[in-house]
Structure 1
Amino acid sequence: MKQLSLSKSKKFLFAVGLIALALLANIIPAKIALALEIPVYLDCIGTIVAAMLGGTLPAVIVGFCSNTIDSFSNWETLYYGIISILIGVAAALFQQYGFFKKISKICIAIITFAILGGVLGSILTYFLYGYDFGEGISAPFSIAIYNKFGFSKFFSQLSADFVLDMIDKTIVLAAAIVIYRKIPVHLKSLISHIFLFDPHLGERSKTANNHLIKRSLLRKVVVMVIVAEILLGALASTTGFLLYRQVTIARNKTIAQGVGASAAAIIDGDRIEEWETKGHAAQGYDDIEKDLYRIRDGFPQVFYLYVYRITNDSSVVVFDLEARDTSGVLPDKPGDRVAFNQGFAPVRENLLRGEHVEPIVTIDEYGWLLTAYEPLKNSAGNTVAYVGVDISMGDLIYEEAKFFIKLLTMFFGLSIIIMSIVLELVNRGIVHPVNRMAAASIHFAYSLEQGRVDSLIELESLKIRTFDEIEYLYKALTKTCKDSLDFIRRLEAAADRITRMQDEIIINFAEMVEARDTSTGDHIKKTAFYVEAIADELQKEGKFSDILTDSYKDKLKRSAPLHDIGKIAVSDLILNKPGKLTDEEFAIMKSHTTQGMKILSKIEANANNTMDDNYLKESIEMAHYHHEKWDGTGYPTGIKGEEIPLSARIMAVADVFDALVAERVYKKPFTYEKAMAIITEGSGKHFDPVVVEAFCHISEKLYNERTVLNKLNKPAEPEQPKQA
């Protein structure tokens, strides 16, 4: 098709144009819904259409880029890119497995999209911002659920988001399906070949050799890439988390030390004893306390700010501000003694000596705190008290959780994009060329002659140009297949020559044996002709279908000339005696059946019976049993009915018919009518009735076939035949 023969540059521009249109299909309806204050999002129509047309890669690109564009006005939208990407991946999988063709499966797709957009989005919002109803599209509905049913704020918001997303995704998916079905078939084909190469390659490979392909190469690559991404994500997230914690703690230490230094700068160290004993009654005490409040309130991280004088057994309160939070912890009064915090036991001596100490993290009845003690000195330079600054580490856990969730969403959002691109490159550079070679090679290996020729043509038409080991492998494989085809042709030709030589030797050998009996003429050729014709007719009529295959018929044809090979052990005097045989002579004549069986069995044993097309088994059966009779009165074993092998039952009819219509030294040929009367009379007695019935349908034609019967004399009334 002309539209499928675009150059690489045109294909690239076409792909970029498709992604741009899909982005517009995401952005424009979303902006319209927002402007009209419609309680739906309509922000992933283009993502789903891209997935339906081109698979995972364009879908995840469109999904992430949509959120990236939205982040220009609200950068936090970027965190929700992972949801858009997951919707794109899910849509590509649904398209691959035909979910968009049946109503029941479309409902499953809608629910899946709603879970990704509503439930996962709601949970992500909770982790990022905590939970209040906010001002989003679902806020009024969430409040109504909260007031009506008494659910928690979280569950109310989650329920509202899911219900609204069900409505939104129903509209979105319906629009996407309509758009997809309106796109012309040739355009869909072009897009699929740009993004998916040959969408049916995997099916052809699987059909060609389903028992060999256990796991797809691409699937293995996908698993390895996913495992690598998860490990890398875990490592990167853990590393980022630990670095964030270290940086946050270091920043809080700096803040605490800075606040402590600022507070120490406004407090006169020479008046510590006065403020400790008089408190608010001391001149300037309240002014200093107000300044301390202003310093503390300038740093939202600070929860407690106080001034203590350190003694051997306790700390004496100089200033103690009210806690920032609403925990109910009341400030201590000036002059109160506070038990020494055991968390500071390792630096107690340093504090008593008035030395500077590094901030310490403690957990006690006041919570998990980072505390910095800043020395407060008098005019003589001696430490008379410490300014204590406490920063709550509980907020750090919350901030860490928010950071971790943001890190994960950003990482895995970008990772899926990168993974899709990497897989696309691996698919184009490795998996797809290997699959194409594998498909052509499998066809070659499991096809007959013309199929192998077609497979070689297909393999040569691939023209793989990767300029690496894949191309070298392709060239080597192509040459190997070409050489193999030539070798197979030579081998088959040689096998045909050997088979023809073998058949010719057998025929000549059988004729040499037959030539000793001057009365039988070209008996072996005619009986072989009759046997083949009877087998064809039986197969045509559907008789003995479990046995009469084409291969079995071929074996019958090749075995027929050997049915009288045992006559080589019978004396010429008996074979050519013109009169009736004596009982002793007839017994010797009958022995040709067992002698033939012994000769052929010995040949079979020496040949090891290893060839699939070995016909010696049928030859042995014909030689041994072709004089057996349906009613059990034949020789040499007296078996009857279907105990007699089918090959021998067919030969029995052919052998007797030829004996009747042929001229012998001791008789004239029977007429066709007389011969057929004897054959039909013997049905169910001498012969298998089914075989006789089939023979009757073709006997006249066989009788008149001059190519086989051209040596026959004109029919005449025969004399009574002797025993034979």
Structure 2
Amino acid sequence: MLWTSVSKSKKILWAAGLICVAILINLILSKLVLFFEIPIYADCIGTIIAAMLGGTLPAVLVGFCSNAINGISNLTTLYYGIISILIGVAAALFQQNGFFRSALKACIAVLTFAVLGGILGSVLTYFLYGYDFGEGISAPFSLAIYNHFGFSKFFSQLSADFILDIIDKSIVVAIAIFAHRLLPLKLKHLYSHIFLFDPNLSEHPHQFGNYKIKRSLLRKVIVIVIIAEILLGALASVTGFVLYRQVSVGKFTDIAHGLTEAAAVAIDADRIDEYIAQGENAEGYLKTEANLYKIRNGFQQAMYLYVYKILEDGCHVVFDLDAEDGEEGSDPGSIIPFDPSFEPYLPQLLKGETIDPIISDDKYGWLLTVYKPLKNSEGKTVAYVAADISMGEVLIDQAKFFIKLLSMFFGLSIIIMSIVLEFVNRGIVNPVNRMASSAIHFAYNLEQSSVSSIQELDSLSITTEDEIEYLYKALTKTCKDSVDFIIRLEKAAERITLMQDEIIINFAEMVEARDNSTGNHIKKTAHYVEAIAKELQREGKFSDVLDDAYISKLKRSAPLHDIGKIAVSDLILNKPGKLTDEEFDIMKSHTTEGCNILTKIEENASDSMDDDYLKEAIEMAHYHHEKWDGTGYPTKIKGEAIPLSARIMAVADVFDALVAERIYKKPFSYEKAMSIITEGAGKHFDPVVVEAFCRISEELYKNRTVLNHKHSGEGNAA
């Protein structure tokens, strides 16, 4: 089954099926190892398999849902969902970077999972519950480490959890890799496309041909979402922490108020002065003290309970339940000096007024204190009942709440972020990447495969029903219009080239026609030049110059090699006998005249003609009578200083002149002509060109008759 043939509804069913099966794997295996009392967890095999098949989204859903289902019977399991989620995210990254295909890299994955499950899980447990080893899988091991190595309880439990988790995650990863390899390849492809997950991202991070992407769009989106989640998480956590702190302080304040209210009821306010003066000897003192103990013990959060009479000289002790014998405040009537932290409240306390709860940090510790005025029957404040609640308890509660908040918030945030990124990837990043890839392929391969590039764009079928779809339609239309325009331009250019070649040939034939002796010379030499150049190319000679494009230019340039004869008199061109020295000098001028004519054309028409093509034509016209040994004309250059085009033309030109009938001579035989050519190697001609020509000369000679019939009409060139 190919993923492209699966409908949208079936893809949803396949995705849900993967998630459900992976959750069942986690639950069943974890219950089995628990039932058989095997000292491992085996609670994230399904999470890792889901990550290997579909990436981050199914992995985090499987990890969280597994913990959520277990949390039905044990709510605290929910707080560990963040660990399962992080393992799923890590597994997806490891799969994309090929970690599960290498034993060494798989060990790195195991260590990472062990850090997340063992160390992070152990730290989370510490913040939530503290350490007393408990009854978990690692309890006996941690107790043994504690007894034998002298570690603290925290580090004993941390070490035990990490070591056991390495064993657990080694088994888990091995099972997950084995199970993944057993799955059919088509099923893996199906899930990778359902979740738009590339399991081999490191091998081809961005498919944009030779164009390298420095920062992918998806990574930018991920960074933005992560930053937003962190900022939102920080804001939510701080807000939640502040609100919880207020609630916690309020809760403990209410407890302290309740304690002081109950204590106030148990005390006879009219006898305060008697209690101070006589202490335990006063009637009812011990009974009242016993009642106060009972009341205080009924409030677990209470740390201290005492009754003081506030006077100018200090606090006069009435009852102090927590002062040991001999300590300050242990005897009724003793005076305790004011602590500096209470100075702002002294005016109100001395007046017997009600004051707000006080949070202080002094020699008695960090305390929340509530003072209740104790009024006698006349309504006068005669003492204060005070209750202290340790703020350490508040801090512990706040820390637990904060850890729970972070665990739940970031666990759910990663799930939400994975869902958002999946939709962003599906609706924005993936369509844009596909368009970008096709557009780059179109732009950089326009000449070679424009039709296939258009077909590739059409096959994208992007239907996001938003601006991206409109962009896709506009891009497709623009590319199609560009291809149509280029095709029209190519056809027009082809027609212009054909017309140009035809004009050149006709122009050259007009010049040739003035010489009655040469007969089809320009067409035959063009054919010879092409044949010699191809043979040199086949032999690998002059490979830095001789390519197909250069050979095509040589063939087109060849007809113009004698264009300068237009400036030579007909009397000289058609003279039946030998030319005089003066006449020969005029005849030789056709090389420079041809160069001048073509150079002027190049200067005046360089914007509309192929400069390289004219360059070869100029060189061929100017230098085709130069000789290898430097005895030629018009410049007497020699060797490789003579352009390659002219060296090839020299052989073709002389060979055709030798075997052709002229008004001043009979045609030479093939053998005689080749004898002259070979003797001229290294003197008249480039020996490398002659060597190549010798291999094809016989076939060229045999085909002369065919060429004569093919190019009907006799022209004149020399």
Provide the TM-score with structure 1 as the length reference: 0.93
The one of the two structures with greater contact order (alpha-carbon pairs below 8 A, sep at least 6) is: 2
Q: SS state of the match for residue 195, structure 2?
A: helix
5+ long unaligned stretches in structure 1? 714-723
Deviation at 1:589, TM superposition (A): 2.4
Match of 1:656 in 2: 654
Structure 2 CA distance for aligned equivalents of residues 330 and 55 of structure 1: 67
Aligned partner letter, 1:281: N
Structure 2 CA distance for aligned equivalents of residues 574 and 205 of structure 1: 73
**Is the Cα contact below 8 Å between 2:329 and 2:336 reproduced in 1?**
no
Deviation at 1:590, TM superposition (A): 2.3
Structure 1 CA distance for aligned equivalents of residues 365 and 643 of structure 2: 98
Match of 2:597 in 1: 599
Match of 1:628 in 2: 626
Q: 1:260 to 1:612 in 2, by over 3 A?
A: farther
Q: 1:84 to 1:506 in 2, by over 3 A?
A: same
Q: SS state of the match for residue 602, structure 1?
A: helix
- Describe the superposition over 1:652-711 as per-residue Cα deviations: whole angstroms up to 9, x where unpaired: 222222222222222222222222222222222222222222222222222222576326
- Describe the superposition over 1:89-143 as per-residue Cα deviations: whole angstroms up to 9, x where unpaired: 1111111122222222222221221122112222222222223322221122222
Match of 1:84 in 2: 84
**1:353 and 2:351 matched:** yes
Q: Pairwise mapping of residues 129-140 of structure 1 onto structure 2 (< 5 A)?
A: 129-140=129-140
Deviation at 1:47, TM superposition (A): 0.8
Match of 1:45 in 2: 45
Q: 2:472 aligns with which of 450, 471, 474?
A: 474
Structure 2 CA distance for aligned equivalents of residues 138 and 306 of structure 1: 45
**Is the Cα contact below 8 Å between 2:329 and 2:335 reproduced in 1?**
no
Structure 2 CA distance for aligned equivalents of residues 611 and 114 of structure 1: 72
Match of 1:273 in 2: 273
Match of 1:35 in 2: 35
Structure 2 CA distance for aligned equivalents of residues 446 and 188 of structure 1: 33
Match of 1:683 in 2: 681
Q: 1:600 to 1:518 in 2, by over 3 A?
A: same
Match of 1:584 in 2: 582
Q: 1:323 to 1:600 in 2, by over 3 A?
A: farther
Aligned partner letter, 1:490: R
Q: 1:464 to 1:612 in 2, by over 3 A?
A: farther
Aligned partner letter, 1:681: E
Aligned partner letter, 2:491: A
Structure 1 CA distance for aligned equivalents of residues 523 and 199 of structure 2: 57
Structure 1 CA distance for aligned equivalents of residues 598 and 281 of structure 2: 133
Deviation at 1:217, TM superposition (A): 1.7
Structure 1 CA distance for aligned equivalents of residues 303 and 476 of structure 2: 77
Aligned partner letter, 1:369: L
Aligned partner letter, 2:573: L
**Is the Cα contact below 8 Å between 1:535 and 1:548 reproduced in 2?**
yes
Indicate the larger mover: 209-218 or 193-202: 193-202
Structure 2 CA distance for aligned equivalents of residues 504 and 295 of structure 1: 120
Q: Pairwise mapping of residues 601-620 of structure 1 onto structure 2 (< 5 A)?
A: 601-608=599-606, 614-620=612-618
- Describe the superposition over 1:50-106 as per-residue Cα deviations: whole angstroms up to 9, x where unpaired: 111111111111111111111112111111111111111111111112222222222
Deviation at 1:333, TM superposition (A): 2.3
**Is the Cα contact below 8 Å between 1:204 and 1:439 reproduced in 2?**
no
Match of 1:211 in 2: 211
Structure 2 CA distance for aligned equivalents of residues 435 and 128 of structure 1: 45
**Is the Cα contact below 8 Å between 2:55 and 2:197 reproduced in 1?**
no
Structure 1 CA distance for aligned equivalents of residues 364 and 205 of structure 2: 69
Deviation at 1:4, TM superposition (A): 4.5
Q: 1:26 to 1:239 in 2, by over 3 A?
A: same
Indicate the larger mover: 204-213 or 672-681: 204-213
Match of 2:715 in 1: none
Q: Pairwise mapping of residues 313-712 of structure 1 onto structure 2 (< 5 A)?
A: 313-322=313-322, 332-448=330-446, 451-608=449-606, 614-706=612-704, 709-710=707-708
Structure 1 CA distance for aligned equivalents of residues 710 and 176 of structure 2: 82
Structure 2 CA distance for aligned equivalents of residues 581 and 302 of structure 1: 135
Indicate the larger mover: 458-467 or 84-93: 458-467
Indicate the larger mover: 181-190 or 15-24: 181-190
Structure 1 CA distance for aligned equivalents of residues 535 and 402 of structure 2: 81
Q: SS state of the match for residue 366, structure 2?
A: strand
Aligned partner letter, 1:429: G
Q: SS state of the match for residue 626, structure 2?
A: coil
Structure 1 CA distance for aligned equivalents of residues 695 and 568 of structure 2: 36
Structure 2 CA distance for aligned equivalents of residues 79 and 630 of structure 1: 92
Q: SS state of the match for residue 710, structure 1?
A: helix
**Is the Cα contact below 8 Å between 1:67 and 1:77 reproduced in 2?**
yes
Q: SS state of the match for residue 615, structure 1?
A: helix
Indicate the larger mover: 92-101 or 194-203: 194-203
Structure 2 CA distance for aligned equivalents of residues 206 and 504 of structure 1: 49
Deviation at 1:455, TM superposition (A): 2.3
Structure 2 CA distance for aligned equivalents of residues 477 and 696 of structure 1: 56
Indicate the larger mover: 417-426 or 341-350: 341-350
- Describe the superposition over 1:587-614 as per-residue Cα deviations: whole angstroms up to 9, x where unpaired: 3322222222222223223344687774
**Is the Cα contact below 8 Å between 2:82 and 2:410 reproduced in 1?**
yes
Structure 2 CA distance for aligned equivalents of residues 194 and 612 of structure 1: 53
Q: 1:364 to 1:661 in 2, by over 3 A?
A: same
Match of 2:248 in 1: 248
Structure 1 CA distance for aligned equivalents of residues 684 and 327 of structure 2: 119
**Is the Cα contact below 8 Å between 2:323 and 2:330 reproduced in 1?**
no
Q: 1:132 to 1:525 in 2, by over 3 A?
A: farther
Structure 2 CA distance for aligned equivalents of residues 330 and 395 of structure 1: 25
Deviation at 1:199, TM superposition (A): 7.3
Deviation at 1:198, TM superposition (A): 7.8
Provide the TM-score with structure 2 as the length reference: 0.94
**1:21 and 2:24 matched:** no
Structure 2 CA distance for aligned equivalents of residues 486 and 203 of structure 1: 36
Structure 1 CA distance for aligned equivalents of residues 327 and 416 of structure 2: 52
Aligned partner letter, 2:410: F
Q: 1:393 to 1:534 in 2, by over 3 A?
A: same
The number of aligned residues is 711
Match of 1:231 in 2: 231
Q: 1:205 to 1:529 in 2, by over 3 A?
A: farther
Aligned partner letter, 1:638: K
Match of 1:718 in 2: none
**Is the Cα contact below 8 Å between 1:54 and 1:195 reproduced in 2?**
yes
Q: 1:261 to 1:704 in 2, by over 3 A?
A: same
Match of 2:714 in 1: none
Deviation at 1:341, TM superposition (A): 2.5
Q: SS state of the match for residue 291, structure 1?
A: helix
Structure 1 CA distance for aligned equivalents of residues 287 and 661 of structure 2: 148
Match of 2:261 in 1: 261
Deviation at 1:624, TM superposition (A): 2.1
Deviation at 1:528, TM superposition (A): 1.5
Match of 1:189 in 2: 189
Deviation at 1:400, TM superposition (A): 2.2
Q: 1:590 to 1:313 in 2, by over 3 A?
A: farther
Q: 1:670 to 1:171 in 2, by over 3 A?
A: same
**Is the Cα contact below 8 Å between 1:597 and 1:620 reproduced in 2?**
yes
Aligned partner letter, 1:362: S
Deviation at 1:239, TM superposition (A): 1.0
5+ long unaligned stretches in structure 2? 712-717
Aligned partner letter, 1:606: N
Deviation at 1:482, TM superposition (A): 2.1
Q: SS state of the match for residue 397, structure 1?
A: helix
Q: SS state of the match for residue 315, structure 1?
A: strand
Q: 1:162 to 1:628 in 2, by over 3 A?
A: farther
Aligned partner letter, 2:415: I
Q: 1:708 to 1:56 in 2, by over 3 A?
A: farther
